[in-house]
Amino acid sequence: MPRLEEVLDRLAVIPNLQVSQNVALSRYTRFGIGGPAAVFAETPAWEAFVAALEVAGAAGFTPVVIGGGTNLIVSDEGFDGIVLRFTGRRIRRRGRRIIVEAGADLSDLVEFSIDRGLKGLETLAGIPGTVGAAIYGNAGAYGHSIGERVQMVRFCDGRSVRALGKDECEFSYRESVFKRHKHWIILSADLLMEEGESGELRGRAKEILRGRNRKFPATMKCAGSIFKNLLLDQLPPAVAAELPAEAVREGKVAAAWFLEQAGAKGLSKGDIHVADYHANLVYNQGAGTAAQLCGLIEEMKARVRARFGLELEEEVQYVGFEKRRIP
C-alpha cells in the first residue's frame, strides 16, 4: 500500500483542493477538542472532492469526512490519516424546490427558505452544522426532521456520483441509509418545500431559536444533546410504567429525563461538565480533553444502565479512537 506521503503528493496536484499536514482538528470541532490530522484537505468544488476520495480509496486509505464539526469528538492524539472537508455551500431555488450543497450551513438553509416564504425547515432553526451532516443524521426538532423535505440526495460512493430518492434514503429517527454506508459521501440535495408566509415562518423560527439559545448558547463548546432520545414503544414495560405523562412527547422520551433520574446533572471530569440545568448537555469549559469527555459520557451511560437497564446511544461521532465504533 502506498505510504501516506505518496498519497499526499497525489492530492496536492488536484485542482481547487487545499491540502495541509498536521492540522489541529480542535479548530474544526465545536467542543474545541482534538489532536492533529496527518493530512487535511478541503475544497468547495465537488469535482475536486470526488477526486480526493478516489485518490484516497485507490491507495487503500479510508478518509474521515467532516462538515461543521458540531457533532464530533476527536481523540487527543488526533487522526493518523486523511481528513476531507467539502465546503461547497451554494443554495438555489427552483419554484418550491431548493437545491443545496452539502457544505452549506444548516442555519443558512433555514434562513434562505424563510426569506423566500418556503415552509418546512423553520423548526430546525438554531441547529448547528452543515446540511450534509443534517441529512446524514436526519437532524430535526419539535416533531420535524430534514428528511421530510428531502426529495433527492447526490453522493459519491467512492467510485462515482450517484443519486437516491427520498424513500431510498431510508430516513427514520436520527437515521438514514448514509449512516449504514459511511463511505457514501453526500454532495448535495433537492428539498421540496411548501408555500408559506415569511413573517409567520420567521416568528416561529425566532421563538425556537430563543429557546435553543437558552439551553445551548452559541458560545458554548458543546454538541447540543449528547444522546438520542428514546422511542416509547421500544422501552421495556417496567421502564415505560415509571414515566410521567409530561416526559413523553410525540412518542419519544428525552434521554435527559433518564439521565436526570440517574443523577447526571452537574457531573464533571476536569473541564468537561454536564450542565446543571440539562442532563443531556455536556460542554467543555475551556481546557477539557477528549479523554475526559469520553470518560464522562461513559459514566452517564453507566448510571442510566444501572438505574433503568437501558443503553443510551450517542448522537456524536468519534474520530481517532481505534476501539470506538462511529455511531
Catalytic (active site) residue 225: yes
Strands 79-86 and 72-74, by their bridges, are unpaired
Residue 277 CA, distance from chain mean position: 23
- Asked whether 316 and 325 are in contact (CB, 8 A), the reply is no
Which amino acid belongs to residue 235? L
Backbone angles phi, psi at 39, to 5 degrees: -130, 130
Report in angstroms the alpha-carbon separations of 238 from 178, 247, 259. Answer: 34, 15, 17
The catalytic position among 26, 107, 188, 225 is: 225
In 3D space, the residue among 146, 148, 173, 188 whose CA is nearest the CA of residue 315 turns out to be: 173
Q: SS3 of 196, please?
A: coil
Contact 122, 110 (CB under 8 A): yes
Give the active site residue among 101, 122, 314, 315.
Answer: 315
Q: From the candidates 149, 174, 202, 303, give the one annotated as an active-site residue.
A: 174
For the question of residue 315 being annotated catalytic, the response is: yes
Alpha-carbon distance 325 to 247, whole Å? 30
3-class secondary-structure state, position 68:
coil
Q: Which residue has the cell 437558552?
A: 214
Residue 1: strand, helix, or coil: coil
User: CA–CA separation, 315 vs 290, rounded Å?
Assistant: 16
Active-site annotation, residues = 174, 225, 315
